[in-house]
Structure 1
């Protein structure tokens, strides 16, 4: 993502930017378990989009980033940030930030804002995740170590659980979530998230996301083929100076291929020494193989991590089996799968797999 902000507090490096994002997703509910109130009784009040923009701007100052672009559809507000993205829908907030941002520092004021403007009475679900950093020593508390992040999250949530998937000695992926049983009398909506985290990227592809090769974000989007990854998306993109790229995509109303409420987001740090690309979407698919293949063909990474979250109502529940049965050529290239792990939570299933290119 945004290489526009240079982190130069490392005495050993003139210029470094941490592309790895911290991803915080929170679902809110207006119906505590055991009550008989209809959660949609006061539809106008129970909506995170009622929080005024200036309140979001103040909150993001705590996170150490700012809003630089905005788009919306009937289901979701999408913000491109100076460091990645934020999505706000009726009950869900997604805050994804890179660099030396501090998203967990905003939890207390965030919960206060939600109570003040929306009437939501409790947190239904929390997902906090990130890949391991390239230079953790540059992060700001509580983000230097996952143990410190977990300790802070535990002060807000008394039933959170923490996980580390992959190898702590090389590539790993951290997760904190609330593994609580949802009320059986509440209708649950299908939910799924695909995330692909890529490193060691092709220098020629990464050069597209510099001002030397692209004069605008729109040019970089077309030249790279990003607009073809998931068709029928409203694209809001931004090309940083001198390099770096972010985009949010929202499903177009009435598009037959995409249900309302679908999003896509991509963030690119193109510098060769620490190149990084993240792709994320919640499109419902029984199989993500073709989407993953298109993403890999677009960015040509040397290594990547893929995670798939799906609840019991989602069509993506078969993806763990598909990844387990995939061979080295499933994604259109010579890939070596180093590890694949599965977690079955009370409400979601998670698959996390690590890949690298075969040595040429």
Structure 2
């Protein structure tokens, strides 16, 4: 998501006259009951009052709620800088710009304990390398600083870098937890840069545009069936959407359309046996010059191994530069990076 690239601010996020950082920081935390808890009916993150979410979590992170949607499984928030999803045991916060996402963790843990009798079972913090890391605020200027901050909060932390450290790479911090999340869990993320200008024109000069028309004309509306979409256009440019799916599923897309630093992110936890066709649909919709994709799956996931679920991804007009497969205590992960072939 991006607003105007001027000296204004939104939700406290600082924008410069020449750059907006569309690249997001992504936090996913899974919770479980603390020992000795006495009230099972409190075991739900949605018991945290909205005012506390805003004051204790979003204000320190420096973003605001602009739209809300919900179903029986979860509540989804479109933010001034990306999205937040809250279900019974899972908390997801995704923020772009110069937000300070990691400042959400300590107040989140306290709120989860006070209102839900919860403790952290597992955590995933990830991001692609920034376009302009020097514009970030502490502790986000380097991954080393982010790891040091997370290590100060958790025992058994594990930090990884996938991809090329002198090129496109993706950072991950998680916990070495032998038995954290037992229910089926899988997450596909596609992070796209060097976007096609004609495709991005739908998300430029958005003043007066109908957001539903934009969602339909761009092809976003048909990426996943049975998706209840809550979409938002920013002025004068930029787009965000949250989509709710059955069985605690979601899809979220955020678009920074400016040519100099264009960026689109797609993320979903939709259950599938193979993600190849979905990857093709997403890439065809946005037509990036480059993209990274990651697929996390745990041992209970419908698709089995992430490598098996992506092995048939063969995209015309793209060369795969890298593919890496990693296995953790509960999850495995496949990372890949693609670049569009140069045409004669």
TM-score by length of 1: 0.89
Larger fraction in strand = 2
What is the Cα deviation at residue 220 of structure 1? 1.0
Contact 1:317 1:349 in 2 (8 A): no
Are 1:262 and 1:281, in contact at CA under 8 Å, matched by a contact in 2?
A: yes
Gaps of 5+ in 1: 252-258
Distance, in Å, in 2 between the alignment partners of 1:270 and 1:160 is 35
Structure 2 unaligned spans of 5+: 10-15
In the alignment, structure 1 residue 149 sits paired with structure 2 residue 146:
yes
Change (3 A) 1:308 1:28: same
Give the drift of 1:322. Answer: 5.0
- 1:317 shift after superposition: 2.0
Measure the CA separation in 1 of the matches of 2:129 and 2:153: 23
Correspondences of 1:1-360 after superposition (within 5 Å): 1-4=1-4, 6=6, 14-30=17-33, 42-58=39-55, 59-120=57-118, 122-182=119-179, 188-211=182-205, 215-251=209-245, 259-321=246-308, 323-324=310-311, 326=313, 330-331=314-315, 333-360=316-343
Q: What is the number of residues matched between the two proteins?
A: 336
Q: Offset of 1:323 from its aligned partner?
A: 3.6
Question: In structure 2, what is the Cα distance between the partners aligned to 1:338 and 1:214?
Answer: 41
| C-alpha distance in structure 1 between counterparts of 2:8 and 2:244, whole Å | 34
Alpha-carbon RMSD:
1.9
Whether the 8 Å CA contact 2:275–2:309 is kept in 1: the answer is no
The Cα offsets for residues 223-263 of structure 1, whole Å up to 9 and x where unpaired, read as 10101000111111100000000000002xxxxxxx42110
Change in CA separation of 1:16 and 1:336 when aligned onto 2, cut-off 3 Å = same
The answer for the alignment partner of 2:13 in structure 1 is none
Contact 1:207 1:213 in 2 (8 A): no
3-state SS, counterpart of residue 314 of structure 1 = coil
SS at structure 2 position matched to 1:316:
coil
Give CA deviations for 1:74-110 in whole Å, capped at 9, x if unaligned.
Answer: 0000000000000000001000000000010122111
Alpha-carbon distance between aligned partners in 2 of 1:174 and 1:7, rounded to the nearest angstrom: 29
